[in-house]
Amino acid sequence: MDENITFLCGRVTVRQAKGYRAGLDAVLLAAAIQVKPGGKALELGCGAGTALLCTAYHNPQGHFTGLEKHHEVLHIARDNIAQNAMQDRVNIIEGSVFTPPDVLRPDSFDQVFLNPPYFDDPKAIRMPKAGKDSAFVSDQAKLKDWIHTALRLTRAKGYITIIQRADRLDDCLDAVRGRAGDIRILPIAPRAGEAAHRVIIRARRNVKTPLSILPPLIIHKPVHDNDRAWTEEAEAILQGDARIDFSGGHAAKG
């Protein structure tokens, strides 16, 4: 059964189809995207549109496109755009990341963002249930294909932004090597003192500025405080009251 879920403290409502449910990763990715007024951004593999719509909320003067290959999910995403009254600046195109449609021309977007499947090899993990498998395990396009497509569609000196498992950081960096610079890496750790389980990577196409690693974003307070309590910084981002600032601080207001 389909289900309506609210994000950013009720500011965005998304109907999600049976199977994979977008959550923390989508909201964190959206908080990391900054689009100037009149700018254009693309999400590869937008699913039902959670990250896409949250990004559009954060950037009310930008224009957004989502690429989604699953026909049924694409229609849900279009319904979600209408439900959030964003039809004037958000649209969905049907197509594959591996062979994107011709309407998506190279060098077209100020920013391309993506939350690609965690694994390239279906043998790497116990397969999730149907509907969730394509979000976790790539079928045709591998991680490097997702990143190369993102770079190809981004204009010179534009940005790509990726959220991915921390143990795939090396694969992400290998895919952008020689193609992008000014790489900013934000580790995301469950709690202070614990290893990062996710990273957000922002890279700028056709520049050579050195790589930098930011202080980690801590998601939860210590276990002895409350096992499920968010840190103040994470809560502000999840409620839509703050953004991720790649200049060094994490929770920038607005």
pTM of the model: 0.90
* 213-223 pLDDT, tens digit each: 999 999 999 87
What residue type is assigned to position 81 of the chain? I
Q: Which residues contact 208 (CB under 8 A, 6 or more apart)?
A: 181
* Rounded average pLDDT over 229-234: 94
- Position of tokens 């991720």? 244
Q: Does pLDDT of 140 surpass 70?
A: no
Quote the DSSP letter at residue 14. Answer: E
Q: Does pLDDT of 44 surpass 50?
A: yes
Token digits for 130?
């149907």
Quote the DSSP letter at residue 234. Answer: H
Q: CB neighbours (10 Å) of residue 193?
A: 8
Q: CB neighbours (10 Å) of residue 10?
A: 9
* Rounded average pLDDT over 12-39: 90
Q: Does pLDDT of 132 surpass 60?
A: no
Band of the pLDDT at 226, cuts 50, 70, 90?
low
Percentage of the chain surpassing pLDDT 70? 86
Q: Does pLDDT of 139 surpass 80?
A: no
Q: Does pLDDT of 133 surpass 50?
A: no
pLDDT score recorded for residue 3: 76
Token digits for 147?
């990143």
Query: Which range (46-50, 121-125, 192-196, 230-234) has the least confidence?
Result: 121-125
Band of the pLDDT at 192, cuts 50, 70, 90?
very high
Quote the DSSP letter at residue 17. Answer: -
* 235-254 pLDDT, tens digit each: 999 999 999 999 866 766 66
**What are residue 204's DSSP bridge partners?**
159, 181
Band of the pLDDT at 121, cuts 50, 70, 90?
low
Superfamily designation of domain 3-253: Vaccinia Virus protein VP39 (3.40.50.150)
**What are residue 94's DSSP bridge partners?**
68
pLDDT score recorded for residue 141: 78
Band of the pLDDT at 81, cuts 50, 70, 90?
very high
Q: How far is CA 157 from CA 20, 152, 205, 209, in A?
A: 34, 12, 5, 11
